[in-house]
DNA sequence: TTCTTTGCTTGACATTGTGTCAAGTGTATC
DNA sequence: GATACACTTGACACAATGTCAAGCAAAGAA
């Protein structure tokens, strides 16, 4: 019964995800995760090498479950490049709250751990590539502001849509989710469109 | 000789600052700081309650030494609101690299420690107020884009100028310092000016 | 049914870094 | 010479990660 192993693994991943979101990525111990998953602390170490390894695996797991790629599908199907930009901001902007806790946890260890950094970058590269594609589309439709190169506009778009900016506007400035999406859309349109 | 006490205190603060910048705020232990300051580890605890207390004190110290307020003086003296915006972005943008290491360290503990959060917010409120003032000036000069309220534009300006955005553009996107200042200026002008 | 393997448990232990405590040292000052 | 002060020294408590070895219970093979 090798499915038992997989089941336990999934239980641990689910518990990790849940706790990370509950506590916004802060102060979640290995023993908390084990308890929440209904297994011993050591069982966690039988499935994952270390805390960082577990977090990376959880990131991958969450990514599969939530399916950002599929959500971004509708962006590719957009009738125009400008509409694609709008949809992109909306889809990603509404995705952030779902992954916020885990993101925070990953970002916190990113600086001290090479593997975590890689995991985060991998996750982000999806967004970065999407940003580049959008900008490329805008450029081909001749609506990209002439003051930017494709690369610069892509970097800016990607940076503006960072989890940290979302966090700052929502948490520190008290913006609502709709305010965020609307505001970001207006701001980005103003800065990179002609 | 109460000046000896102050001297030791300063030595510790200087050592903390130096190590934080050297290691970009990561993996700096109390014993490292003590050794670098040339005092015993316990001496550090005689001057500062805890690690977080020390970091907050260092933040204050650095703030005094570098004098952001004075640097921002030239912004107030600007001949026009639009020029003030330009100068603001330049002064702050060039200030970031000087406080980057310490900022990272402070941001890292911000989520787990109330006192650190307060210290950071206090430091940021200076920038936030400046952002508000700039926007207010732009509004009075009738050059603020009509799509924003004063508050929203202030929040956006402040968010765009975050240390994290600087970090992402410089470290992840490989922008140079000049590219950052120029890019930010163009982007912000495009988004909040008429 | 018995034997073995597999997945997990249990409890002990090493390690690292923070923070505390108490006794001791050296040195200006009265 | 006595005193107070700033710091040192070394031991300790504590929390969290990660390791190790022995054991247990159930599934599958003989």
pLDDT digits (tens, 9 = 90+) for B27-58: 999 999 999 999 999 999 999 999 999 999 99
More confidently predicted of B142 and B2: B142
What tokens appear for A81 in the block? 């490049």
Mean pLDDT of A89-110: 95
Residue A194: how many CB atoms within 10 A of its CB? 10
Distance CA A171, CA A184 (A): 15
What tokens appear for B102 in the block? 């310490």
Interface of A with B (CB under 8 A): 24-27, 104, 108, 111-112, 121, 145, 147-148, 152, 155-156, 158-160, 162, 164-165, 168-169, 172-173, 175, 179, 183, 186-188, 190-192
Distance CA A108, CA A143 (A): 38
**Segments making up each domain of chain A, as ranges:** 2-48, 65-192
Q: To 5 degrees, how large is the angle CA A20–CA A22–CA A26?
A: 50
pLDDT tens digits along B104-144:
999 988 888 888 888 898 889 989 999 999 999 999 999 99
Distance CA B179, CA B168 (A): 13
Nearest to A69 by CA among A4, A19, A125: A125
Phi and psi, residue A104, nearest 5° = -60, -45
Kindly tell me if the per-residue pLDDT of B161 is higher than 80.
yes
Mean pLDDT of B169-175: 97
Farthest-apart Cα atoms in chain B, separation = 61
Kindly tell me if the per-residue pLDDT of B1 is higher than 50.
no
Tell me which chain B residue has its CA closest to the CA of residue A152: B183
Distance CA A106, CA B88 (A): 33
Average pLDDT, chain B: 94
pLDDT (0 to 100) of residue A2: 66
Phi and psi, residue A149, nearest 5° = -80, 165
SS3 A21: helix
SS3 B193: strand
Kindly tell me if the per-residue pLDDT of A91 is higher than 70.
yes
Q: To 5 degrees, how large is the angle CA A21–CA A27–CA A31?
A: 95
pLDDT (0 to 100) of residue A16: 98
* String of DSSP letters for B125-175: HHHHHHHHHHHHHHHHTT-B-TTS-HHHHHHHHHHHT-HHHHHIIIIIS--
- Answer whether any strand D atom is within 7 A of the Cβ of B2: yes
pLDDT (0 to 100) of residue A118: 87
Residue with smallest Cα–C1' gap to D8: B40
Q: For tokens 């308890």, what's the residue? A: A35
pLDDT (0 to 100) of residue B42: 97
Nearest to A156 by CA among A173, A138, A174, A178: A138
Distance CA A103, CA A16 (A): 12
Mean pLDDT of A17-38: 96
Architecture per CATH, B67-192: Orthogonal Bundle (1.10)
pLDDT band at residue B5, thresholds of 50, 70 and 90?
Answer: confident
More confidently predicted of A115 and A59: A59
- DSSP secondary structure code for residue A144 in this structure: B
Query: By mean pLDDT, which of A115-124, A155-164, B128-137 is the weakest?
Result: A115-124
Architecture per CATH, A2-48: Orthogonal Bundle (1.10)
Phi and psi, residue B193, nearest 5° = -90, 160
Nearest to A96 by CA among A56, A136, A123: A123
Distance CA A87, CA A76 (A): 9
Mean pLDDT of A16-42: 96
Q: How many residues are there in chain A?
A: 194
| Cross-chain Cβ contact A173/B159 below 8 Å | yes
Kindly tell me if the per-residue pLDDT of A169 is higher than 60.
yes
Q: For tokens 């955005």, what's the residue? A: B165
Kindly tell me if the per-residue pLDDT of A90 is higher than 50.
yes
Burial label, B187 (beta-carbon count in 10 A; 0-12, 13-18, 19+) = buried
Average pLDDT, chain A: 94
Distance A109 CA to C5 C1' (A): 38
CATH code for A65-192? 1.10.357.10
- CB contacts, 8 Å: A169 with chain B: 155-156, 159
Q: Report which secondary-structure segment, H or E, holds B181.
A: helix B177-192
Distances (CA, A) of B120 to A168, B108, B113: 13, 11, 11
């Amino acid at each position: 019964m090798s499915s038992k192993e997989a089941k336990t693994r999934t239980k641990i991943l689910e518990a990790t995800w849940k706790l990370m979101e509950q506590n916004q990525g802060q102060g979640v111990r290995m023993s908390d995760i084990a308890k929440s998953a209904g297994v011993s602390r050591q069982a966690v170490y039988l499935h994952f090498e270390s805390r960082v390894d577990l977090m990376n695996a959880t990131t991958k797991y969450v990514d599969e479950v939530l399916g950002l790629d599929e959500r971004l599908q509708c962006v590719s199907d957009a009738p125009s490049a400008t509409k694609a930009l709008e949809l992109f901001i909306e889809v990603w902007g509404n995705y952030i709250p779902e992954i916020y806790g885990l993101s925070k946890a990953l970002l916190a260890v990113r600086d001290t751990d090479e593997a975590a950094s890689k995991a985060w970058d991998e996750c982000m590269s999806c967004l970065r590539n999407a940003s580049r594609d959008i900008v490329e589309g805008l450029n081909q439709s001749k609506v990209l502001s002439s003051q930017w190169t494709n690369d610069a506009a892509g970097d800016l778009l990607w940076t503006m849509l960072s989890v940290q900016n979302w966090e700052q506007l929502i948490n520190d400035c008290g913006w609502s989710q709709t305010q965020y999406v609307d505001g970001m859309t207006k701001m980005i349109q103003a800065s990179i469109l002609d």
